Structure 1
């Protein structure tokens, strides 16, 4: 199945693109998609996901709605990755 991945803010700069389409296995979860993205873009593994399971530094939306890392994806989904918002 295919999913569209959109990168925002720092992720866009690190990856060098705002969007890409990925072919992924059926029934994949958000967490597994992030693993695929880290392998595809090792700079994310080094700069953002320094720890093996450090997902605290990413927010994920699926088709415009925040989701958990255990949510199962469907063909045609649009996934957006962006850093947590901070400020005072």
Structure 2
């Protein structure tokens, strides 16, 4: 299983939805809260080329945000992406 990294914010409903999907699949992930850590927000923006949260990475693959994650799940592409 590839590592999952999610840049998030405590107040963001899209972050909550994305984490709920990952939790429902019993997936472990590393969450980086960008609210109080501007250096993490800068890192996220450099890696993702986006400024909104969540930004989700599976391994080295940038998934995108919440809608992108759910689109992968609906298309049946999330599980294969997670597989080693």
The structure whose residues are more often helix, as a share, is: 2
TM-score (norm 2): 0.28
Of structures 1 and 2, the one with the larger relative CO (CA 8 A, separation 6+) is 1
